[in-house]
Amino acid sequence: MQRKLALGVIARWLPINFLATGFVLLWDPLAWKLVLAMVCVNAVAAFVVSDYIQKQKIINLKSEQHPLDFTLQIASETLPYLRRGLNEETAAKTVEIIQKISDVAAVAITDREKVLAYIGAGADHHKPGGSIMTDATREVLVTGELKVVRSGRDLQCPVPGCPLESAVISPLKCRDEIVGTIKLYRTQPGEIPQNLVKLAEGLAQLLGMQMELAELDRQAQLVTKAELDALQAQINPHFLFNTLNTIIMFSRTNPETARRLLIRLASFFRHALKRHGHFNTLREEIEYLNTYLILEKARFREKLRVVRNIDRELLDYQVPVLTIQPLVENAIKHGILPKPGQGTVQITAQRLDEDMLIVIKDDGVGIPPERLSEVLQPGVGSGNGVGLSNVHERLKSLFGKDYGLHIISAPNAGTSVYVRVPLLCKLGHGEGNSVEAKSINSR
């Protein structure tokens, strides 16, 4: 390509210069030195012009060949960050990716008040965390319209010697509300290439869409929090009702046992009321479960046998509140109680790669095949307790569709419920409100 262009320039340059040389020599044969100098200068000028044209064609071809490539690549790389919302941390990652891929002189992202992130030329005074400095940006925030600035004078940066000479400033919108701007800067004044304007428009739409997704995620998390709050309110009266019935029964036949159960009940509610947030350590959940099992053992005596096998190295990892106890309650109520004679519930917690695997296994009556496909559907269950479907949906909401309950069961062969929880936030001893679990790895 470059060779063809050079040959084309030479083919046009030689005849013109021969004619001009012949005309000058006919006019003044003694001016041959001037003619020679003119030919040399023209040759150099032709080479410089052809080289510049060739480079400009290469640049234009590179930036216009696939105008969507930049936007798609930026979308792919920025999505993990902007799904967490627009803040200084996510904006800093985003401008770094944009500059690396689009190769502009500088990139900035602002909210309505300050610069969230800046990278490139002029970074010595356009600093993240500082207030918005240019009138052009403030205009875009007011009008909500894309603005093309062709000279440093129009940018009106108050810092002398600012290298920024032109820019495309596009508003960032989330749900039709202007929340900030994205700015692509050049260090050359003049007309902005159309592909750069389109890139700014595409990036603004992309970032706006990703911020809307982040807002939807936040709303979903608020819904999950509300569901957990309702669940907390639901489970405590349920425990209280069953426990009081048991204590009333023993107060007539065995007052000492009733006294010990009242102490356990007080410990249970003290533990429940100290909860903060919606995650507890496994240690706390096992203690919570142990209190429940002591009360159930008081009711069912030798009917119920419990085996625990808990890996102590997992005790300081976090699990969602009210995950294990409802599964054990379900095993006792629907597996062991309908079974003639004694039944056993086995509770296991062990590490599986980067997850915690919790298994609640009983040797009860099992679940009929036609019923097995329904037990995880929302709304299925009986009584005032927390159903399997509730735990299943919460796990998927918190950790993704690959998590949740996995159930294996057969009539008269018992039921096994498998729970996977990512290993979360291991705490050191003494941190939080951990209570040492009793009867771990004991029968």
**pLDDT tens digits along 78-125:** 656 655 666 788 788 888 887 877 778 899 989 888 888 899 988 888
**Which of 184, 219, 254 lies at the terminal end of a domain, its last residue?**
219
Domain for residue 174, yes or no? Answer: yes
- C-alpha dihedral, 384 to 389 to 392 to 396, nearest 10°: -110
Of 13-27, 50-64, 100-114, 259-273, the poorest mean pLDDT is in 50-64
Domains held by the chain: number: 3
* 358 compared with 259, residue with greater pLDDT: 358
pLDDT > 90 in the chain, percent: 16
pLDDT of residue 101: 74
pTM, 2 dp: 0.48
Q: Are residues 75 and 207 in the same domain?
A: yes
Domain for residue 290, yes or no? Answer: no
DSSP E strands in 236-338: the ranges are 279-281, 304-310, 318-320
* 284 compared with 268, residue with greater pLDDT: 284
What confidence tier does 294 reach under pLDDT thresholds 50, 70, 90? confident
**Each residue's pLDDT tens digit, 192-208:** 888 888 888 887 887 77
Domain for residue 361, yes or no? Answer: yes
* 269 compared with 257, residue with greater pLDDT: 257
CA proximity to 362, closest of 309, 428, 412: 412
- Average pLDDT of the segment spanning 338-362: 93
CA proximity to 215, closest of 172, 171, 175: 175
Q: Are residues 112 and 203 in the same domain?
A: yes
User: What CATH number is attached to the domain comprising 188?
Assistant: 3.30.450.40
Domain for residue 294, yes or no? Answer: no
Q: Which domain holds residue 157?
A: 67-219
Please say if the pLDDT value at position 362 is more than 70: yes
Domain for residue 238, yes or no? Answer: no
Of 33-37, 52-56, 204-208, the poorest mean pLDDT is in 52-56
pLDDT of residue 387: 67
Q: How far apart are CA 93 and CA 328, in angstroms?
A: 45
**Which of 219, 243, 261 lies at the terminal end of a domain, its last residue?**
219
